[in-house]
Amino acid sequence: MLPEFIQCFFQAEQDLLWLCTLALDLGLTVLMYRLFGREGLLGCIVLAILLANLQGPKLTVIFGFQTSLGVIFYSGIFFATDLLSERYGRAEAGKAVLIGFGVSCIVVLMLSMALLFEPSDRANTAEFSQRIQTSFENILDFTPRFVFGSLLAYLLSQSLDVWLFHWIKRQTRGRWLWLRNNGSTMLSQLADTLIYSFVVWWGVVDLQTAIELGAVKYAFKVVIAAIDTPFIYWARSWDTTHADGATIPRPSD
């Protein structure tokens, strides 16, 4: 899809590719909010869930550490939820968490159903169909451990994130957006990482590897939370009238 020279450049510059992917993910989330308001953020949450689930099993090495590619998109869910909390309130953020959970359940169910269909055995497409079926099985053949762990981690950590965000906001009387953005995300992401590491990874890999993967993944999540802070200030700074009819005034910090 991308021009060959861009592919060659980023294949040699994996750390820069990670940073560019992160900036693109956050920037596009802000753009969707700018264009579509609340519905745009909901769309980004659903999209990030799909991307995180599809790319979560892919391990790569960034800055010398092995981590899951899905960490970018999964962390993007927390960014979109925090922005939704800040601009539309706790009730809307809570609703988004439940919508995301429902979408996750539907995705897992429908992809599992898709795997039950046998590939075409017609002579002119049999080889191609079998290759696609094998690729689907490698990526989408979810184990019960993965389904239970990922759904549990999502629901608990996202609910905790929304609660912490508004608890910190009350305690600071609406000041210090950076504190509630980073504080709620870091604590809820810690819960998410512990659940995912011990329920999902431990058993697929040994305990030491599961702990190492979890620790590195959490470190990347903390870095992403810090990086997304300017983006949430940028998005919050607008006086906007969205397609949903809501005029959102620019708050003071």
Architecture of domain 8-116+133-244: Orthogonal Bundle (1.10)
Q: Is the pLDDT of residue 16 over 80?
A: yes
Q: Is the pLDDT of residue 113 over 70?
A: yes
% of the chain residues with pLDDT over 70: 93
For 199-215, how does the pLDDT look when each residue is reduced to its tens digit (9 = 90+)?
877 777 788 888 888 89
> In the prediction, which pLDDT does 251 show?
53
Q: Which positions ≥6 away from 156 have C-beta within 8 Å?
A: 191, 192, 195
Q: Is the pLDDT of residue 232 over 80?
A: yes
Domain boundaries, the chain: 8-116+133-244
Q: Which positions ≥6 away from 3 have C-beta within 8 Å?
A: none
Residue 84 one-letter amino acid:
L
For 46-73, how does the pLDDT look when each residue is reduced to its tens digit (9 = 90+)?
999 888 878 877 888 999 988 888 888 8
Q: Is the pLDDT of residue 145 over 80?
A: no
> In the prediction, which pLDDT does 224 show?
94
> In the prediction, which pLDDT does 243 show?
42
Q: Indicate the burial class of 245 (C-beta count within 10 angstroms; 0-12, 13-18, 19 or more).
A: exposed
Q: What is the mean pLDDT of the chain?
A: 87
Tokens representing residue 110 in the block: 């429908």
Note the pTM of the prediction, 2 decimals: 0.86
